[in-house]
A and B are shown apart, each in its own frame.
Chain A
């Protein structure tokens, strides 16, 4: 399950809306080993495309070094799909190179609502997880839980045995 502050989700959605119809992408860093997403870092989509995103390699080096210096990890890696559902594409799965990260997808295909879903992607296997949005200043036990969408919880892209 991904637990994330509403303020950060709002900032990610605002970034996705701003870059729509191009895909937007970024990171939420947090203390290494904590699984807490605390520092939102919007990244440039070097591909500037409606169907592809790619971190600029030099910006990524700078941000990854900064995380290293601060003893942080990329807790969330997010991007938007601007005309399709918030579900990892085969390209997303092929590239997923941070086995400890939550891959957050935002779909901006509807003009006035967003689909927000989170996945683990490890060795080609996609596992959807719940997104728990935390409201700051509210009793942390009184949170809302969402499971967006109705997809199967696990999809094996290796298609073994099928």
Chain B
């Protein structure tokens, strides 16, 4: 798959670097990734977004349906993901770790958005006791990042096929 292969090549190119933006495109699909730190095997990323104008006219019901299958596909992260809220006006489905990870040092969870317009985005949040919730980098191996790229891509294909 061209998008994934190019993305993994870019990741190899920024090994040892910090605060880099990686952007690769394949036709209308653009993968944007904000990398906090890159290593030979993994990368700590603040955001991982696959954008596509192909989702411009998609219906909320289809997004809801596809968000469920996206959650089923992305089952290799630290916590299982499931749809939490759907904003019909904005045509956005929000998915989160369900349940979130919770320990003495705080709460941690993934948040994914599937938007008409459109895009699929992944973030990681942390909420320490007594502190404001903040977005934190999530460290994923290159292999997992490549798989995420494939699964996001497959979700767009599924939406377009609906």
Q: Do A and B come from one complex?
A: no
Residues in A lying within 8 Å of B, measured CB to CB: none
Residues in B lying within 8 Å of A, measured CB to CB: none
